[in-house]
Amino acid sequence: MQTPAPSPAVLDELKAALGPGGWTQDPEVIAPALTEWRNRWTGHTPILLTPRSTEETARAVAICAREGVAITPQGGGTGLVGGQIPFGEVLLSTRKMRAVRDVTPLDDAMTVEAGLTLLEAQQAATAAGRYFPLSLAAEGSATIGGVISTNAGGTQVLRYGMMRDLVLGLEAVMPNGEIFRGLKRLRKDNTGYDLKQLLIGAEGTLGVVTAATLKLFPIMRSRAVAVVGLETAAASVELLARAKAETGGGVEAFELMKRLGMELVLKNIPDTREPLDSTPDWYVLIEIASGTPGGAEAQMEALLEVAFEQGLITDAAIAQNDAQRAAFWRLREEHSAALKPEGGGWKHDVSVPISRIAEFIDEASAAVERFHPGARISVFGHVGDGNLHYDILPGVGQDIPAFIGRWKEGSQVVHDVVGTYDGSISAEHGLGRLKTEEVKRYKSPLEIETMAALRRAIDPKRIMNPAVLF
């Protein structure tokens, strides 16, 4: 889908509205913002707007609204589904709105602007003696506006929830150019529809998020990390239930890894080593945190003891220091990078009910084997969220380009199994340009039409990220 270019007069008006430093048409400056970081999309835009305030953002959007000119909002550009790449739309970057407006520890709240990176937001919380839990691989570049607009997930969702659960208040420029001033620090406010919940995860289609008030948490006083070996994926689900009970909800991360993925990390990533003495079919990385000094370690030991007794795990190693903790986490975090030297793969970000994870893995793997015999399957992900990164690699010695060429059909094989499990074909990455069409196969006409009607109500000219969503 291509969006027609705005007229020179409109471009002039946008330039005048934002003034020097508020826009650029320099191809070299714009170029990095047009390419998705995995080189899957390269877009184009007549102009890059970089407003420095909510008011400047509102001014620009108002002009576009009046003229029916389309806008693609962009944060850190780390999205994985192409939602941030313009194809003819005006590109509006929040990168110059980076203030920490306030931090109030007694409210467990802080208000930050959309262009602040997730890492900087975490650091601002820590500096105030609090913890902001959302954490993901791209946090050094991903921005608050972006993680809100995509309802980002990551590794701490099990205990703290998705970004949707971490936003107390929101400020946004609506598609008509008006400012929604919803930066409340309230925990309870039942006065009509929750507009901020509608904007969270809307992928920039209902407005431009300019600032948010985020929920903070106490800093934990003890933390324990272990890697355990299991015979089956089903055992990991039982182990999770046991871990939640044993800690009273104190599990911060619970990451499943299949032997193949571990082998590829050990093979392709330097300075990694087997975490266990054995080589089990499945691994889980468990992180427990507690408010009591020594509490997490005690809970981890109690958990592993029970798990051994019940035959849920076959091996375990508890990290003895920070370096070992980091080494364990690295084994999990390098799973994506470790696939690349194998010739790339068909990647899937799916979720299913936790209780059905093992069954799903078996059924999907059988379907993939029927579709492309010999393909290798790496499974890793957040068991506590039912969220698996289910990646398919060419078999050893198979023709890689031929394999890559079957990506679309192969993905549908996996997604169709997800569909029969009442799962989601985009657990945490969103739909963007990549999956908007495909998802229609798995959603009811009622859902699609209701979303489209809501969008028409808020953005009747469909100027906000027009190629994304319904």
Site for a copy of itself in 299-318 (CB under 8 A): 299
Q: Which stretch binds a copy of itself (CB under 8 A): 64-72, 87-95, 146-154, 260-268?
A: 146-154
CB of 406 to a copy of itself, least distance (A): 24
Residue 69 or residue 157: which is nearer to a copy of itself going by CB?
Answer: 157
Q: Confirm if 284 and 256 have CB atoms less than 8 A apart.
A: yes
Residue 246 or residue 391: which is nearer to a copy of itself going by CB?
Answer: 246
Q: How far apart are CA 175 and CA 111, in angstroms?
A: 23
CB of 444 to a copy of itself, least distance (A): 7
CB of 100 to a copy of itself, least distance (A): 17
Residue 276 or residue 318: which is nearer to a copy of itself going by CB?
Answer: 318
Residue 69 or residue 199: which is nearer to a copy of itself going by CB?
Answer: 199
E-strand stretches of 174-263: 179-182, 208-215, 222-230, 251-258
CB of 276 to a copy of itself, least distance (A): 25
> First vs last Cα of the chain: how many Å apart?
13
CB of 125 to a copy of itself, least distance (A): 14
CB of 374 to a copy of itself, least distance (A): 31
Residues 81-110: x where in contact with a copy of itself by CB under 8 A, - otherwise, as a string:
-----------------------xxxxxx-
Q: Confirm if 355 and 241 have CB atoms less than 8 A apart.
A: no
HSE-CB for 154 with a 13 A CA cutoff: 26
Binding test (CB under 8 A) with a copy of itself, winner from 238, 334, 342, 391: 238
Residue 340 or residue 440: which is nearer to a copy of itself going by CB?
Answer: 440
Residue 238 or residue 287: which is nearer to a copy of itself going by CB?
Answer: 238
Binding test (CB under 8 A) with a copy of itself, winner from 298, 327, 400, 413: 298
* DSSP track, 401-413: HHHHHTHHHHHHH
Structure tokens at 36: 């998705």
Residue 10 or residue 256: which is nearer to a copy of itself going by CB?
Answer: 256
Residue 266 binds to a copy of itself (criterion: CB under 8 A): no
CB of 429 to a copy of itself, least distance (A): 7
Binders of a copy of itself among 156-215, rule CB under 8 A? 157, 161-162, 164-165, 174, 178-182, 184-195, 197-198, 200-202, 206
Binding test (CB under 8 A) with a copy of itself, winner from 145, 384, 394, 466: 384
Binders of a copy of itself among 444-463, rule CB under 8 A? 444, 446-448, 450-451, 453-458
Please provide the size of the chain in residues.
Answer: 470
Q: How far apart are CA 184 and CA 88, in angstroms?
A: 35
Size of the site for a copy of itself (CB under 8 A): 98
Residue 358 or residue 400: which is nearer to a copy of itself going by CB?
Answer: 358
Q: How far apart are CA 185 and CA 17, in angstroms?
A: 32
> Would you report the helix, strand and coil content of the chain in percent, each value rounded to 5?
40, 20, 40
CB of 405 to a copy of itself, least distance (A): 26
Closest CA to 207 of 53, 65, 96, 41: 65
Q: How far apart are CA 169 and CA 188, in angstroms?
A: 11
Q: Confirm if 70 and 61 have CB atoms less than 8 A apart.
A: no
Structure tokens at 315: 């091996």
Q: How far apart are CA 283 and CA 22, in angstroms?
A: 50
How many of the other CB atoms lie within 10 Å of CB of 117?
23
Q: Confirm if 463 and 64 have CB atoms less than 8 A apart.
A: yes
Binding test (CB under 8 A) with a copy of itself, winner from 295, 345, 394, 466: 295
CB of 320 to a copy of itself, least distance (A): 22
Residues 416-445: x where in contact with a copy of itself by CB under 8 A, - otherwise, as a string:
------xxxxxxxxxx---x---x--xxx-
Spatial neighbors of 418 by CB under 8 A, at least 6 apart, are: 348, 350, 352, 360, 364, 424, 425, 442
Residues 103-142: x where in contact with a copy of itself by CB under 8 A, - otherwise, as a string:
-xxxxxx---------------------------------
Residue 104 or residue 123: which is nearer to a copy of itself going by CB?
Answer: 104
Buried (b) or exposed (e) across 434-463, using 16+ Cβ within 10 A? Answer: bbbeebeebeeeeeeeeeeeebeebbebeb
Binding test (CB under 8 A) with a copy of itself, winner from 142, 253, 260, 352: 352
Residue 104 or residue 336: which is nearer to a copy of itself going by CB?
Answer: 104
CB of 162 to a copy of itself, least distance (A): 6
Closest CA to 380 of 345, 413, 420, 412: 345
